[in-house]
């Protein structure tokens, strides 16, 4: 047994998991959200460009590192894929691709000709969509049929594999105006709505499981607590998708369908925004409680970024559709919170890289047991 531990330990210190791609998502969403902000977005173009470049470079580096690791040590990705916790985060790489795809449409013209830009953007979106749909099917299927999980195992990470189709829908709305054929535009529009529904229904089911786990077992009080913020991901991204698709529908399909889809942005978006706000309050209290219990830093802290970023873009869509200053100010305030969350997560990651503790294989970590009570 001693020999096996010694053989494995060096590997634990260099292992890259799919959860690392959450940092790309959290960085890229800042750029995408910045330029669309009410009131101040027009002044954030250059800052957004720099952040998009950084996120793109992060994506390239992580893809290369993961590819090299997979080729040289294929057993690592197999072990990650077979772990019931780490497997959930295979939804992060496709969402990272999709986030950068959206940024490419917004900022790519600074570096590429229009034709080249569209090839890159389409490639990222199509790849992210295909891989995202695969994770949305394969990971839950294996959770149903392969993994052994505890009764209190539900956590925010279960949302990771089912959210990519929602991101595809939101980013896909940006591509529709670039399609020349009307029939193809309509097909892409309805395909995005189908992905919207796929992700939304799955996310709502998982949310009830998370709620049940919190009621019956409480939280772990540990590094998994930040994953509660992942609930905001499908909520905020669905508001974004409903708003973006509704606006595009006005130029793609005929009335009254177009008007109904555009109205849906408000009829759906405002109530869901209310629940997202409600959940953020609950998650804040639970996070503060965990911090008082000395919650350690982990890569799960990046859950404070992308989900909040989707709420920024969703609130921006509501501001555009309603014209209410309340939503305009809410979007700006949320964006300020997003920046703070990113700084905290990035600083913790840098410190963790220096110490090496966040490179430890999460699969080897002890089982986190949910519990209630002050201790």
Task: Specify whether the CB–CB gap between 129 and 154 falls below 8 A.
Answer: no
Residues 54 and 51: their CA atoms lie apart, in Å, by 5
- The Cα 145–Cα 137 span in angstroms is 12
Q: How many CA atoms lie within 13 A of 359 on its CB side?
A: 13
DSSP state of 297: P
Please give the chain's pLDDT, 375 residues, in tens.
Answer: 333 433 333 344 467 899 999 999 999 999 999 999 999 999 999 999 999 999 999 999 999 999 999 999 999 999 999 999 999 999 999 999 999 999 999 999 999 999 999 999 999 999 999 999 999 999 999 999 998 888 788 999 999 999 999 999 999 999 999 999 999 999 999 999 999 999 999 999 999 999 999 998 888 667 789 999 999 999 999 999 999 999 999 999 998 999 999 999 999 999 999 999 999 999 999 999 998 888 888 888 999 999 999 999 999 999 999 999 999 999 999 999 999 999 999 999 888 888 766 666 554 444 445 556 655
> 149 burial class (0-12, 13-18, 19+ CB within 10 angstroms)?
exposed
Report how far residue 198's alpha carbon sits from residue 164's, in angstroms, rounded to the nearest whole number: 10
Structure tokens at 291: 């911090």
- State the angle between helix axes of 114-145 and 164-175 in degrees (0 to 180), rounded to the nearest 10: 160
pLDDT score, position 63:
96
Domains of the chain: 2-364 (1.50.10.150)
For the stretch 26-69, pLDDT in tens is 999 999 999 999 999 999 999 999 999 999 999 999 999 999 99
What is the C-alpha to C-alpha distance for residues 287 and 330, in angstroms, rounded to an integer? 22
Check residue 295 and give its pLDDT.
Answer: 86
Side-chain half-sphere CA neighbours of 332 within 13 A:
11
What are the pLDDT digits (tens) for 235-273? 999 999 999 999 999 999 998 999 999 999 999 999 999
As a whole-number percent, the residues of the chain with pLDDT over 90 amount to: 80
Quote the CA–CA distance of 89 and 84 in Å, as a whole number: 10
Assessment of whether the complete model's pTM goes beyond 0.85: yes
d(CA 286, CA 292): 10
| HSE (side-chain half, CA atoms, 13 Å) at 138 | 14
């Amino acid at each position: 047994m001693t020999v096996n531990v010694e053989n494995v330990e060096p590997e634990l210190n260099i292992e890259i998991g799919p959860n690392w791609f959450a940092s790309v998502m959290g960085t890229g969403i800042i750029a995408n959200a910045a330029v669309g902000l009410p009131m101040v977005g027009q002044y954030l173009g250059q800052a957004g460009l720099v952040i998009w470049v950084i996120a793109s470079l992060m994506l390239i580096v992580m893809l290369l590192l993961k590819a090299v690791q997979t080729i040289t040590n294929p057993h690592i990705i197999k072990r990650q894929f077979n772990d019931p916790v780490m497997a959930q985060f295979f939804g992060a790489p496709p969402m990272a691709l999709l986030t950068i795809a959206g940024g490419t449409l917004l900022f790519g013209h600074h570096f590429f000709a229009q034709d080249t830009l569209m090839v890159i953007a389409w490639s990222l979106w199509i790849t992210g969509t295909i891989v995202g749909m695969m994770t949305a099917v394969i990971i839950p299927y294996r959770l149903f049929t392969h993994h052994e999980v505890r009764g209190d195992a539900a956590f925010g990470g279960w949302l990771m594999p089912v959210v990519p189709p929602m991101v595809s829908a939101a980013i896909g709305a940006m591509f529709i105006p670039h399609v020349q054929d009307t029939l193809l535009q309509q097909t892409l529009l309805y395909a995005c709505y189908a992905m919207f529904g796929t992700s939304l229904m799955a996310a709502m089911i998982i949310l009830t499981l998370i709620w049940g786990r919190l009621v019956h077992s409480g939280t772990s009080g540990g590094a998994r607590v930040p994953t509660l913020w992942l609930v905001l991901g499908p909520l905020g991204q669905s508001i974004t998708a409903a708003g973006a698709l509704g606006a595009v529908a006005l130029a793609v399909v005929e009335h009254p369908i177009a008007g109904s889809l555009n109205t849906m942005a408000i009829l759906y978006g405002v109530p869901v925004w209310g629940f997202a706000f409600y959940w953020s309050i609950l998650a804040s209290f639970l996070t503060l409680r965990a911090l008082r219990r000395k919650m350690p830093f982990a890569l799960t802290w990046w859950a404070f970024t992308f989900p909040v970023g989707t709420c920024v873009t969703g609130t921006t869509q509501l501001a555009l559709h309603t014209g209410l200053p309340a939503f305009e100010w809410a979007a700006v305030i949320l964006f300020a919170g997003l920046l703070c969350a990113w700084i905290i997560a990035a600083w913790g990651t840098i410190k963790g890289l220096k110490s090496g503790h966040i490179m430890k294989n999460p699969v080897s970590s002890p089982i986190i047991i949910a519990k209630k009570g002050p201790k």
